[in-house]
Amino acid sequence: MRYDKAGRVEHALLSFLWGLFGLSIVLLVWQIIAPQPIHVPGITIDRLSASITLVVAGVGAVSYRFALRYLDGEPRQRQFLRWLAFTVGSAYILMPATNLALLFTVWFLTSFGLHQLLTFYRERSEAFPPARKKFLISRLGDIALLAAIGMIGLGWGTLDLEVFLSRVTESGVGPFTPTVVAVLIVIAALTKSAQVPFHSWLPETMEAPTPVSALMHAGIINAGGVLLLHFAPLLVTVPIALLLLSLIGTLTAMLGMVAMWAQTNIKRSLAWSTVSQMGFMMLQFGLAAFPAAILHLLGHGCYKAWSFLRTGDLPKQAPAPPVAPARSMMMGLTGTLLAIPALWLGTLMTGFDPFQSPGKLALCVVVALAIGQLWIAIFRTPTYANANMLSGSALAFLTTMIIGILAVALYEGAEIFFTPVWGGLVVPAGPLVWAAAALPMVGFVLMVVLYTLLPTFSRTPAGRAFYVYALHGFYFGAIADRLVERIWNNFAVRRVEHA
């Protein structure tokens, strides 16, 4: 881009984004030294908001800088860069917003800015169906969030989030109960973070420029998680909301993993990976494991931005050597069983208590299953596939101990670090909470078995049909496309008639 008067505006916006990044660093350091929330009208700065805004500003600035070169020469580059800065700025304010009117405004503006970015290439007709689908799903989320805010205002007489949360144990006026508000907040979060059945637009938004994919998959898609973090003290008092999050999150994680395994295009594979990761984040909320969800949100944001911005440099992945299902099952079971003493040692070293809540116990089970899959991955590498069984076992055992202890340490460290944000959130251990914890454990065991049997199952007629369905996301997108087309066309016709 040339450094004319208009070009200087775009470079000033880049400096602005880096300034937001620097501000978040200062605020985070401040909160580390003195973890006392800073209250500004409508905004609260604490360790949580400082951490998340740091990722949003960082991903936004890097994506913007990438777009300066990536779109150099495009006739509408300046409009794109301005919409990108607008979207990042809106998402940045969303993180610390505690005035519910402000929160809804930036929630809407973030979605509106993303729609402009998704439809940047106006000449590409393929870009519009998923963008329209995303637009309508976002409006559904807007209605749910607006209804929840209206109930809070009418039932509790405030639009200040912190005031509402301090009264969350009180019943509202008439039908305005904490349970109804919590369920509406959950619905709004599910629509924003591409959860089943609102997920199909995300893997289809491949026509947008790469910086949009990086920003969307690494930052904006986390808006649903941020909303749930805002209302965490409410969610722990409503077990049905936790169960709903766990159920939908588990289904989304399973669907995303299966579809990701079937993809041959790297960007679509990353997109389905995001669907699965967002599902895992939602089930962490369902487990009331909020510190773990924050770690996941931050880590996934950084990783996915890096992954999308470097997709052009990725070599074609070499297929892993086949491993007999019986051997895979044995390796996975061995790794899972050995993860138990590693996690136990981690609890002794850190003080993490997996029996403190059903959610913590479920997290430990998921980590143990993941370590089992890591054993399979180690023995599928060419180095250890045929020989070096002893050295491969030693490497796998050492990795098990490190990951087991590190996982527990990270969870405990995150809980300690973010305690000043909410204090101690007490999760009721009733039947619904235990059901919410059981769902991901059963779901991930099924996924482990399926992944182990895939090499054999894929050679059968049923397996080949399953692959086709998985490749197309089990046709949720096609069903949603027909519904969206009908709604959109009816809206367009009515608009013409009233013109």
Contact in structure between 141 and 188 (CB atoms under 8 Å): yes
Nearest to 193 by CA among 262, 145, 235: 145
**First and final C-alpha spacing in the chain:** 40
Residue where the block lists tokens 């994680």: 253
Q: Where are the domains of the chain?
A: 5-310, 325-454
pLDDT given at position 224: 92
Tell me the mean pLDDT per 10 residues along the chain, length 499. 60 91 95 89 92 93 89 84 93 93 95 88 75 88 95 90 84 74 95 90 81 84 92 92 95 93 83 91 92 90 81 54 70 85 89 86 91 78 56 74 89 90 78 91 91 84 89 84 76 48
The SS3 of residue 312 is: helix
**H or E segment at 44?**
strand 43-45
Supply the DSSP string of 147-181, one letter for each residue: HHHHHHHHHHS--BHHHHHHTTTS--STT--HHHH
Give the separation between CA 54 and CA 49, rounded to whole angstroms: 8
Which phi and psi angles does 97 have, rounded to 5°? -65, 125
Give the separation between CA 153 and CA 249, rounded to whole angstroms: 29
